[in-house]
Amino acid sequence: MRSAPLAAAMACLALAACSTRPVDTQLPLAYEVPQGASAAGAVALDTWWTVFEDPELTGLVETALARSPDARSAAARLQEARATRQGALLNFLPQGNAVGAASRTESKLLEGTAVNIPGFSQTGTSETRAANFDVTWEIDLFGRIFAARRAANAEMAAARLDYEAVRASLAANVADAYFQIRGLAIQLEDAQETVRIQRSLSEVAQRRADLGLGTSSDVDRVAGDLAQAEAQAAALEAELQAQRRVLLILVGRGIEPTANLPVSTEVGAIPAVPETIPGELLARRPDVRQAEAMLVSALGRLDYAKLAFFPTFRLTPGIGITESEQPGFSSTIQSWTIGGNVTVPVLDVPRLLTELKAQNARTEQAAIAYEKAVQTAYGEAENALVQLAADRRRVDLLDAGESQARRAFEASQRGYAAGLTDLQTALGAEQSWRAVRSQETAARVQALRRAVQTYKALGGGWPAPAIPTNKEAR
């Protein structure tokens, strides 16, 4: 006990040496996005997929959240975290087990003189039965349990936020895959339309050749373009089939026929995104909230490492009963004990100092990870908003170009059928129109996928108000 002042002094030095710096989570007041990039109006970020007004998409997302292997695996990890938290806190409750023992001994003297004094007999049968219940209970005078609870609750909150982050990512992945499939369906429809146009041009070229108004080379050229269009349509049909299977597996319906997944060939309108400020990411993004929770956990473990330098007091009560039977002798003894012990770290101080420094470094890493999560979230949100605004402008420009190219193609097709233009002009106009239409379709699909990315980047896809804050978790 004389070493206690020395240990306390070293503990004070250790606590003074470990300090945590403030965490920098400052964000700009607004995003650097073009004017009008976000639209006013209430958008339910919790269930952003309903904004697309597509019942098929809504059903796929809800099915995935309920049946997907990813969602069920995340739920299992959450259950594990709950059990781990409970186990960490149970260590501070009284610990002890009931122990019972029994034995029977048969003794037979082979040589010598038998002793038959009661209680000391060398021969015969002896039986012993005992039961004990010993308890150990740490008397927490310095708040170790509060530090441990702080860390355990924060880790539990991090697990819950990880669960929500997985579900949010799953919803975004389902929507992204769905719009990819829709894009493929539209491309397939365009390819089939191209096949129809090429067949029509082939018929016109053959008719003109039969009338002596065209050449056989025109017929052969159109036939080659027709074969190429048919091959492209076949490739898109196979790719669409494969992507449908991938989406069914993602939502937990992997063994169903792909025909059970109808996909519209209408691109649909690009939905608006809500007006938001960067500071809302701190509350809405599950990955940011998870990083904050892990920092809180690290701080709790740092407090616990500091408290390891202080004495530990334990109570050790116990009760027991012992029965013994020998030839000519029997006894029953009941006992109880009350005691305690105190442990003061002395030679363990260098080891505890090393552990404290290591935990302090881990806390610094958690703080840096939290800062990085905040900055990453801001960057992803701003980039998504900027790119979505660019996609909208691109779609508007391609819409106008597609209308003009379609009118030019229709005019050249009528002129070729009437013998006013040659095949080269008709094919050139058709190729120009198909190229612009393909770009316009791809831009619309890309804008829909970008909208999904934007909703996710803004922290959509999970019910943020339903999750306790890290302050409440302490």
Residue 13: its pLDDT value, please? 42
Task: Please name each of the domains of the chain with its CATH number.
Answer: 24-92+149-175+245-309+346-473 (1.20.1600.10), 96-107+119-139+311-344 (2.20.200)
Give, as one character, the DSSP assignment of residue 23. Answer: P
SS3 content of the chain, % helix, strand, coil (to 5): 65, 10, 25
Q: What is the largest CA-CA distance in the chain?
A: 139
Beta strand residue intervals within 14-94, DSSP E: none
Question: Which two three-digit tokens encode residue 253?
Answer: 């319906």
15 has pLDDT over 60 = no
Distance CA 353, CA 10 (A): 9
Distance CA 422, CA 431 (A): 15
Mean pLDDT of 374-381: 92
Residue 257: its pLDDT value, please? 86
Distance CA 363, CA 360 (A): 5
Residue 99: its pLDDT value, please? 93
Distance CA 427, CA 413 (A): 9
Residues 6+ apart with CB under 8 A from 149: 89, 300, 474
* 372 — pLDDT class (breaks 50, 70, 90): very high
Lowest mean pLDDT across 119-123, 148-152, 176-180: 119-123
Residue 120: its pLDDT value, please? 65
121 has pLDDT over 70 = no
* 214 — pLDDT class (breaks 50, 70, 90): low
Distance CA 236, CA 354 (A): 62
Mean pLDDT of 121-136: 85
Give, as one character, the DSSP assignment of residue 21. Answer: P
In 3-state terms, what secondary structure has residue 400? helix
Q: Which helix (H) or strand (E) holds 139?
A: strand 124-139
295 has pLDDT over 80 = yes
* 470 — pLDDT class (breaks 50, 70, 90): very low
The model's pTM: 0.76
- Dihedrals phi, psi of 449, to nearest 5 degrees: -65, -35
Give, as one character, the DSSP assignment of residue 277. Answer: -
216 has pLDDT over 90 = no
Distance CA 440, CA 407 (A): 15
Condensed to tens digits (0 to 9), the pLDDT of residues 162-207 reads 888 888 999 999 999 999 998 888 888 888 877 877 777 777 777 7
378 has pLDDT over 50 = yes
* 368 — pLDDT class (breaks 50, 70, 90): very high
* 5 — pLDDT class (breaks 50, 70, 90): very low
Mean of per-residue pLDDT scores for the chain: 82
The larger pLDDT score, comparing residue 247 to residue 419, is at 247
Residues 6+ apart with CB under 8 A from 340: 139, 313, 314, 315, 316
Residue 3: its pLDDT value, please? 43
Mean pLDDT of 106-110: 76
Distance CA 254, CA 68 (A): 10
Distance CA 366, CA 298 (A): 7
Strand 95-107 relative to strand 318-326, pairing: unpaired
Residue 359: its pLDDT value, please? 92
The amino acid occupying position 86 is Q
Distance CA 245, CA 249 (A): 6
